[in-house]
Chain A
Amino acid sequence: MERKKVSSQGLKIIVCIKQVPAVPDVRIDPVTNTLIREGVPSILNPWDVIGVEEGIRLRERYGGEVTVITMGPLQAKEAVIGALAMGADRGIILSDLTFAGADTIATAHTLLAQIKKMWYDIIICGKLSIDSETGHLGPHLAELLDIPQICYVKKVDVDMIERKVIAQKEADDGIEVVEAPLPVLITTTNSLNEPRLPTLREAVNARRKKIEVVTASELGGDLSKYGLKGSPTFVDKLFRPPARRPEMLLQGDPKEAVEILVQALLNRNIVNVRSRE
Chain B
Amino acid sequence: MVSKTEIGGAEESASYKGVWVFAEQKDGNLRGVGLELLGVGRRLADRLGEELVAVLLGCGIEELAKDLVAYGADKIILAEHELLGRYTTETYMNVLAELVYKYKPSVLLMGGTLNGRELAPRLAARLSTGITADCTDFDIDKDGHLLQIKPFSKLMAKIKCRTKPQMATAKPNAFKRLKPDWSRKATVIREEVKVSPNETRTRVIEVVKTTNSIYGNVEEADAIVAGGRGLGSKENFKLIHDLADLLGATVAGTRSVVDRGWLPASQQVGQSGKMVTPRLYIAVGISGATYHTVGMQKSEVIVAINKDVKAPIFQIATYGIVGDLFEILPIFMDRLKKEYQEGVDIEQPSEQKPSNPY
Contact = CB atoms under 8 A, between A and B. Distances in A.
Contacts of B155: 28, 238-241
Given A176-B206, A264-B319, A236 B159 contact: yes
Contact of A250 (B265, B297, B302, B321): B321
A271 interface: yes
A175 B133 contact: no
Interface in B121-158: 121-126, 128-134, 141, 147-148, 151-158
A27 B153 contact: yes
B204 A273 contact: no
A99 to B, nearest CB: 17
A171 B321 contact: no
B1 A222 contact: yes
A166 B204 CA distance: 10
B68 to A, nearest CB: 20
Contact of B160 (A171, A176, A222, A234): A234
A251 interface: yes
B90 interface: yes
A235 B159 contact: yes
A135 B131 CA distance: 11
Interface residues of B, number: 102
Contacts, number: 267
B43 interface: no
B309 A143 contact: no
A141 B126 CA distance: 10
A130 interface: yes
A41 interface: no
B209 interface: yes
B272 interface: yes
A259 interface: yes
Interface string A8-36: 00000000000000001111100001010
A141 B222 CA distance: 39
B201 interface: yes
Interface stretch (B58-66, B69-77, B338-346): B338-346
B207 A176 contact: yes
B289 to A, nearest CB: 6
A147 B327 CA distance: 57
B318 interface: yes
A274 B340 contact: yes
A277 B353 contact: yes
Contact of A265 (B120, B147, B280, B320): B280
B203 A240 contact: no
Nearest to A168: B208
Nearest to B145: A236
A144 B159 contact: no
B306 to A, nearest CB: 11
Contacts of B353: 277
B206 A177 contact: yes
Interface stretch (B109-117, B178-186, B226-234): B109-117
A273 B247 contact: yes
B328 to A, nearest CB: 5
Contacts of A138: 121
B122 A139 contact: yes
A246 interface: yes
B134 to A, nearest CB: 7
B339 A246 contact: no
Contacts of B340: 274
A148 B201 contact: yes
B320 A248 contact: yes
9 contacts: A134-B133, A147-B201, A172-B113, A178-B202, A233-B159, A244-B302, A258-B331, A273-B279, A277-B347
Interface of B: 1, 26-27, 89-90, 93, 113-115, 117-126, 128-134, 141, 147-148, 151-163, 200-210, 222-223, 246-249, 265, 271-272, 279-280, 289-291, 293-294, 297, 300-303, 309, 314-324, 327-328, 331-332, 335-336, 339-340, 343, 345-347, 349-350, 352-353
Given A233-B132, A262-B335, 11 more contacts: A136-B133, A139-B122, A143-B126, A147-B201, A171-B207, A176-B206, A180-B203, A237-B158, A244-B297, A246-B314, A251-B323
